[in-house]
Amino acid sequence: MITTLYKVTFCILLSALSCITQATVIPPAPGGDRPQAIEIVYAATAHPDIKKIKDFCRSHGIPLSWVYQWQNRAVIFGHMSNVRDNQQRLQQLFPKATVKLYENPFYIFSKQDNCHDKITPAKEWDHIILTANLVSDTTKQREYLQYHATQFKQWPEVSKGFCNAGFEQLLIFKNGRQLMLVISIPQGADFQKMNSKTTENNPRVNDWNKMMAQYQEGVSGTRPGETWVFFEQAK
């Protein structure tokens, strides 16, 4: 049950840390390939067949901890070889579902690359995965992407907030109107405490959050006024 709401940069309303399930992963080597996500979207009243998805992962060497779920959606997130082949196999395995690929992030924040203090990355990371939609207005969609393309130069306070928080990496993927956001933090770190530091002595981040709100809306199945939702690690 969600007991607390607080903000993360990108104008996300986040639930209390106790409601967030995190998976431990080993971070990519500097300059290495980025991870990808495959999302399996079932009918609105259906629930993902997690057992069948995990059986697929076992047979293809994918760690079970990479499987996440929110309502009628499941996500596999990590460094996958032959990710497009896996997408096709999953579509064949779940013909009544829609299988979506998030392969190349359009926004990448890296603590190693974007923070002045060159701190060695944590050896293991926890991932926090969220999703939302862009609004249907195509002009606003282009504006949103342009803001992110120029953010490091025009809004440096945002990445400074991520550095202050100690985020290891932040990726945003896009498929159609849907966004997939992945925030990576050191294994076992308190995300709520880290996140609060993004706006500490940094009011311009609040300006960014307010501006981004006009470009985003919830995916199908969200409550009125709800925008970003969490995927929890599948059990």
Which residues, in sequence order, are CB contacts of 75 under 8 Å at separation 6+? 37, 38, 39, 40, 67, 68, 69, 129, 180, 231
- The answer to whether position 94 is within a domain reads yes
At residue 57, the pLDDT reads: 97
At residue 23, the pLDDT reads: 42
CA distance linking residue 77 with residue 79, whole number of Å: 7
- The answer to whether position 113 is within a domain reads yes
Contact between residue 27 and residue 182 where contact means Cβ atoms under 8 Å apart: no
At residue 177, the pLDDT reads: 98
- The answer to whether position 165 is within a domain reads yes
CA distance linking residue 25 with residue 101, whole number of Å: 20
Contact between residue 196 and residue 6 where contact means Cβ atoms under 8 Å apart: yes
pLDDT (tens digit, 0 to 9) for every residue of the chain, 235 residues total? 333 334 444 444 333 333 333 444 445 444 347 899 999 999 998 999 999 999 999 999 999 999 999 999 999 999 998 999 999 999 999 999 999 999 999 999 999 999 987 778 899 999 999 999 999 999 999 999 999 999 999 999 999 999 999 999 999 999 999 999 999 999 999 988 999 999 999 999 999 999 999 999 999 999 999 999 999 999 9
* H-assigned helices in 61-123: 83-93, 111-114
At residue 116, the pLDDT reads: 84
- The answer to whether position 158 is within a domain reads yes
- The answer to whether position 41 is within a domain reads yes
Provide the CA 55 distance to its chain's centre, in angstroms.
24
Classify the phi-psi angles of 223: left when phi > 0, otherwise alpha if psi is within -120 to 50, otherwise beta. Answer: beta
CA-to-CA dists, residue 46 to 40, 52, 71, 178, angstroms: 12, 14, 8, 20
For residue 156, what are the domain limits?
A: 6-233
- The answer to whether position 219 is within a domain reads yes
- The answer to whether position 1 is within a domain reads no
For the chain, how many structural domains are there in total?
A: 1
CATH number at residue 146: 3.30.70
